[in-house]
Amino acid sequence: MVESGAGWQRIRFEQAHNANYYAESCIQGLVVEGQQVVSSGRPWGGAGVPGIYVVLLYDVLVSLKLDAPALLIGLGVSRDELLAVDRRVSMSLAQTVAERGVEMVGERGLGFRYARAMSITLHGPVGLLALSSASAQDALDAACRFLGLRAPFLEIHQTRQSGQAHLQLRSTRPLGIAHDFIIEAMLVGLVFMIEQLLESLPQGLEIHRCGPAPAWLRALRKEVGVPVCFDQEENALVFPLSALEARPRLADPQVAAIARQQCEMEFRQWRTEDEGVMARRIRSALQDHPAPLPSLQGMAERLAVSARTLKRHLQQAGLSYRQLQDEERYQQARRLLVQSENSISEVAYRLGYNDVANFSKAFKRWSGMTPSAYREKS
């Protein structure tokens, strides 16, 4: 590391301590009672950001010998308070802190330094699910689905082009002068998380960035570990599709199942608090509708609104109709699979799938296991 002196060693020690504390607290909160997983902490809700991420930025500033306490002046919160497991801060406070950090550090690769100090255990149950997933594809699906629990200001879009996977990062709200820092931290952070998940980084992995190369890149290019391509059309990670088949070194189906249940519980709580009246009406209508579920146009007619109006309301809540359909299909599929008289083919057709393979693929994306494995477990 360029920052290889006592300051950097201190931040690595402090972050290891914080990560262990946080991971232990998260795991303690996953208590299995029969088939139900409960949390010992307050459920996450609203469009907030976990306080541990602010602590990480604070400690990065300490490592750079900058005035870290100035980061929190006038915000009514201390570093120690932010270490509480269930502590979250508002989006406005998080953005203020990020913008202050950018102003204090300047052109010294704040996003890179932030990402380098981050452990996957800081991401709570989402990180635990990724660590224990059966494949890199499963870990990626989990990150995409539950990103809102950790970073509600970003979205990950998966695309496939010419044998390459593209993970595009997009902001869901204006991030001001903190935009480049956040995108940089996320992309480099994903690289380091992949390195923690797997034995080594996949061959052909690249970071694509919009805009010109920053000044800090010359000094820290080797530390990033993968090529960084600038003046691209997207902010993304790009790598061969074959890398998605890799098995995380800590894969564990039991741990993954517990972590997924915790994520799902918190996801439902978060969505319920954030979504509007229209989204709740759609959920209720989908629950009352027998499979196969209606199309967007069909649902709009049922609710006596235009498809455009329905879509707009969902977008304002950060949702899509397909997402709500998938959530209801998953619940219906679970109910049908526990009824032994229904073959998996029958379940697929009742849910509107013309191909059993497509249903199996979708169910694994939702639950982390195949329909047959779910049935055996149930």
> pLDDT of 138-186, one tens digit each?
999 888 888 888 998 888 888 888 999 999 998 877 788 899 999 999 9
pLDDT at 213: 87
Look up residue 343 and give its amino acid. Answer: S
Helix axes 179-197, 91-105, angle to 10 degrees: 90
Is the confidence at residue 81, as pLDDT, over 80? yes
pLDDT at 207: 95
Are 150 and 269 in contact, with CB atoms under 8 Å apart? no
Of the listed ranges 190-199, 201-210, 259-268, 276-285, the one predicted with least confidence: 276-285
Is the confidence at residue 35, as pLDDT, over 70? no
Is the confidence at residue 24, as pLDDT, over 70? no
Closest CA to 300 of 287, 317, 313, 288: 313
Write phi, then psi, for 369 (nearest 5 degrees).
-145, 165
Q: For 83-99, how does the pLDDT look when each residue is reduced to its tens digit (9 = 90+)?
A: 987 788 888 889 899 99
Are 279 and 47 in contact, with CB atoms under 8 Å apart? no
Any idea which fold 275-377 has?
A: Arc Repressor Mutant, subunit A (1.10.10)
Q: For 258-314, how does the pLDDT look when each residue is reduced to its tens digit (9 = 90+)?
A: 999 999 888 777 665 555 678 888 888 898 887 788 999 999 998 888 999 888 888
In the chain, at which residue ranges do the beta strands (DSSP E only) sit?
Answer: 31-33, 36-38, 49-50, 88-89, 154-161, 164-171, 206-208, 228-229, 236-240
pLDDT at 221: 75
Q: How confident is the model at residue 240 (pLDDT cuts 50, 70, 90)?
A: very high
What b/e string do you get for 322-351 counting C-beta neighbours within 10 Å, with b at 16 or more?
Answer: eebbbbbbbebbbebbeeeebebeebbbbb
pLDDT at 127: 93
Closest CA to 145 of 165, 122, 125, 118: 125
Percent of the chain surpassing pLDDT 70: 84
How far apart CA 233 and CA 244 sit, in angstroms, is 23
Domain segments of the chain: what residues? 6-245, 275-377
Q: For 46-80, how does the pLDDT look when each residue is reduced to its tens digit (9 = 90+)?
A: 458 899 999 999 999 999 999 999 999 988 889 99
pLDDT at 172: 77
pLDDT at 182: 94
**Global confidence as pTM:** 0.65
Question: Is residue 111 helix, strand or coil?
Answer: helix
Which helix (H) or strand (E) segment is 66 a member of?
A: none
Q: How confident is the model at residue 25 (pLDDT cuts 50, 70, 90)?
A: very low
- Tokens read off for 229: 């391509």
Please list the alpha-helical segments (H only) found in 41-107. Answer: 51-63, 79-82, 91-105
Q: Residues for the chain: how many in total?
A: 378
Residue 133 carries which DSSP code? -
Neighbours of 117 (CB within 10 A): 25
Question: What torsion, rounded to 10 degrees, do the Cα atoms 80, 82, 21, 271 define?
Answer: 170
pLDDT at 51: 93
Q: How confident is the model at residue 4 (pLDDT cuts 50, 70, 90)?
A: very low
Residue 284 carries which DSSP code? H
pLDDT at 68: 95
pLDDT at 138: 92
pLDDT at 272: 59
Q: Which residue has the higher pLDDT, 312 or 110?
A: 110
How far apart CA 156 and CA 166 sit, in angstroms, is 10
Residue 377 CA to its chain's centroid (Å): 26
Q: How confident is the model at residue 14 (pLDDT cuts 50, 70, 90)?
A: very low
Q: How confident is the model at residue 369 (pLDDT cuts 50, 70, 90)?
A: confident
Helix axes 307-316, 321-337, angle to 10 degrees: 80
Is the confidence at residue 9, as pLDDT, over 90? no
Closest CA to 122 of 49, 220, 201: 49
pLDDT at 273: 58
Q: Which residue has the higher pLDDT, 242 or 368?
A: 242
pLDDT at 3: 33
How far apart CA 54 and CA 43 sit, in angstroms, is 19
pLDDT at 23: 38
How far apart CA 144 and CA 61 sit, in angstroms, is 29
Look-up of token digits 């990480």 = 56
pLDDT at 274: 56
Q: For 131-142, how does the pLDDT look when each residue is reduced to its tens digit (9 = 90+)?
A: 999 999 999 988
3-state helix, strand, coil in the chain (%, to 5): 60, 10, 30
